[in-house]
Amino acid sequence: MYTIYKQVTFAAAHHLTKVPSDHQCARVHGHNYVVEFEVRALDLDESDFVLDYGVLKSLVAPYDHRDLNDFFVNPTAEVIAQHLYEGIAQIPNVRPIYVRVHENDSSWAEYRG
């Protein structure tokens, strides 16, 4: 069993739609997100990779410097982590272990299938 780990960053704005209107996260605000991926495979691919790190970076790229509400109804870190995990799960011959999405240095959400 092989395991890789990749950390990717992106900046984006969002607001949460399922919180009370006076909640601080109901207002548009932004984060410098840090996404951590852990992925495993039984065998290496033809390039001797578990998965090219660029594939993981490409999963995050569409959200960089964008409004996450254009992609998600309620873009919480939890929702983003699940979405990215499910994207990896569609890739043949690899298995995501977890995706962790940090909104800042002290707050993060993790999804494991």
Report which of 110, 92, 103 is spatially closest to residue 37, judged by C-alpha positions: 110
Does residue 103 carry a catalytic annotation? yes
Look up 46 and say whether it is catalytic.
no
Catalytic residue of the set 14, 15, 102, 103: 103
Annotated catalytic residue, options 25, 36, 78, 110: 25
Angle of the 77-89 helix axis to the 53-60 helix axis, nearest 10: 140
Q: Are 108 and 102 in contact (CB under 8 A)?
A: yes
Q: Would residue 102 show up in a list of annotated catalytic residues for this protein?
A: no
Q: Which residues are catalytic?
A: 25, 65, 103
